[in-house]
Structure 1
């Protein structure tokens, strides 16, 4: 299992054990993390699983590209470190990954 930390807009931390091979979104929904609505179920067509990747991890994950980048145009408060959590697969290399939830989603 890979540990992922979600930071809520009020600074509350929610740490989960994420199953490798699933997306961050799938793991968050299984753990009932608030703010990860994922209306489309991971099809990259709604932007309701928008997260901010903590700065130290941006280089590991890289920037959004293709459909994900296009879909982020529909999200609120997009930043350079914005990603759709449905498009990021959990791997052991991401152990300790920290993501922040946008205020408008919680």
Structure 2
């Protein structure tokens, strides 16, 4: 679930297409639970959303900037704004509902 273009992170989150960022670490069990959930979400939403994963340990500056205090932390961006942020595992149906609700309000 990597970005499909050469856009930088800051360019992607400023775009029209919503971006769901998954801050994770390799050793985190709940983070591993998010992988199939995010794949299911991407399959359902297709090009309506971009999903990117950021290793919080390898990118501490980004983690600090967005106040990631635990992993997994999901942050939904659109047009450079944070629309939603939550730590912990979120099931696919709930995630879909949250995302569609937030992006329809923008």
Where on the TM-score scale, by shorter chain, does this alignment land: which range?
under 0.3
TM-score (structure 1 length as normaliser): 0.28
TM-score (structure 2 length as normaliser): 0.28
Query: Which of structures 1 and 2 has the larger relative contact order (alpha carbons within 8 angstroms, sep 6+)?
Result: 1
